[in-house]
């Protein structure tokens, strides 16, 4: 990857958020010329502290991907667009469906239109989500699984990814789509459960409060440590063999939520957990058990997660023990 991004211009939308900032830090390490676009809407994951380690080494443009005029100038002259800006809360997408539609669907279309008109040579990687599968019909879920989103966010992310595929196929705007599963690690939003329930669990652990596990705790999930996701994005960016393709990310160690809580408690040696009934507004959009088959990206790009859950959780908890004041104090 080094030769590929070194001295190249890379635009990271959502670059002050959780995954985007870890990606931007890696890109700077690889000597790319990075521009970050982020709107810093307070309910989302953007946080200036996330990009503190690279603050003098990147261009930061505080704008909204819904602003077509800004995006036109930002997209011009870039070699890569790593497209991560998004509204990520499932619950918020039900309570404020139009904002989700504007960001996750309409803005994606206008970003692609800007690429088509002003920079058709650009290479894009789009961060999609496993949420678009809905409740799994079978496990592990591969890319051929039917798409049946259970919330507005899933529908809009599905549109967002398919716009990328259509623009790849019809206009040859090179795009790759990654369907991310639950991602965790340093720089995630932990002040509430907007990004993922793991965020609020980490806060509870760091504060020595009880973790609340919804339902019977037996729901299975697969988790990726953020460095593995960053690696998948970079591998997808560098390969032209995979243009127009959609890949699941996943993990080798799916685990139920109760056991996940136990590992976290064991690492921190504080706190405890309690099984509590699902809040009704969450229950209706819950997908039950999920874990992905990531064979396709493994055989196409040789991607495989490297960080096991216990190690990743340890690094994450240590990060928030040290830096919590930048995330919620």
Residues that bind ligand NAD (CB under 6 A): 14, 16-20, 37-41, 44-46, 64-66, 84-88, 103, 127, 129, 157, 180, 182-183, 189, 195-196
Name which of 78 and 88 has its Cβ closer to ligand NAD: 88
Q: CA-to-CA distance for 220 and 164, rounded, in angstroms? A: 30
Name which of 121 and 286 has its Cβ closer to ligand NAD: 286
Query: What beta strand segments (E) does the chain contain?
Result: 9-13, 33-37, 59-61, 80-83, 123-129, 175-180, 182-184, 211-214, 220-221, 223-225, 246-248, 255-256, 273-276
- Angle at CA of residue 20, ends 285 and 299, nearest 5°: 80
Min dist CB 274 to ligand NAD, Å, is: 24
Name which of 2 and 43 has its Cβ closer to ligand NAD: 43
Name which of 119 and 129 has its Cβ closer to ligand NAD: 129
Min dist CB 104 to ligand NAD, Å, is: 7
Min dist CB 167 to ligand NAD, Å, is: 17
Min dist CB 7 to ligand NAD, Å, is: 26
Min dist CB 49 to ligand NAD, Å, is: 12
The CA–CA distances, whole Å, from 181 to 107, 114, 226, 251 equal: 22, 28, 11, 9
The DSSP code for 216 is: T
Name which of 43 and 258 has its Cβ closer to ligand NAD: 43
CB atoms within 10 A of CB 239: 16
User: 50 and 36 in contact (C-beta within 8 Å)?
Assistant: no
């Amino acid at each position: 990857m080094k030769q590929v991004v070194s001295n190249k211009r890379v635009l990271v939308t959502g670059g002050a958020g959780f995954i985007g900032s870890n990606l931007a830090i890696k890109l700077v390490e690889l000597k790319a010329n990075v521009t970050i676009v982020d709107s810093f809407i307070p309910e989302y994951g953007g946080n200036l502290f996330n990009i503190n380690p690279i603050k003098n080494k990147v261009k930061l443009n505080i704008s909204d991907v819904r602003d077509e005029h800004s995006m036109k100038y930002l997209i011009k002259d870039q070699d890569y667009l790593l497209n991560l800006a998004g509204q990520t809360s499932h619950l918020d997408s039900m309570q404020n469906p139009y904002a989700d539609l504007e960001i996750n669907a309409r803005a994606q279309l206008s970003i692609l239109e800007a690429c088509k008109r002003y920079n058709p040579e650009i290479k894009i990687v789009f961060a999609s989500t496993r949420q678009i599968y809905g409740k799994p019909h079978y496990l592990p879920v591969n890319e051929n699984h039917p798409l049946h989103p259970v919330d507005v966010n899933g529908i809009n992310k599905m549109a967002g990814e398919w716009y990328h595929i259509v623009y790849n196929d019809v206009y040859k705007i090179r795009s790759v789509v990654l369907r991310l599963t639950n991602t965790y690690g340093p720089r995630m939003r932990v002040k509430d459960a907007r990004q993922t329930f793991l965020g609020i669990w980490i806060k509870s652990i760091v504060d020595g409060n009880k973790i609340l596990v919804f339902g019977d705790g037996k729901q299975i999930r697969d988790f990726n440590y953020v460095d593995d996701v960053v690696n998948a994005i970079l591998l997808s960016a560098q390969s032209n063999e995979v243009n127009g393709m959609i890949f699941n990310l996943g993990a080798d160690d799916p685990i139920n939520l109760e056991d996940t809580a136990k590992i976290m408690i064991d690492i921190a040696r504080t706190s405890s957990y309690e099984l509590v009934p699902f809040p009704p507004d969450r229950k209706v959009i819950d997908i039950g058990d999920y874990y992905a088959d990531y064979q396709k990206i493994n055989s196409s790009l040789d991607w495989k997660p490297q960080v096991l859950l216990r190690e990743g959780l340890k690094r994450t908890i240590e990060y928030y023990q040290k830096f919590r004041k930048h995330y919620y104090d």
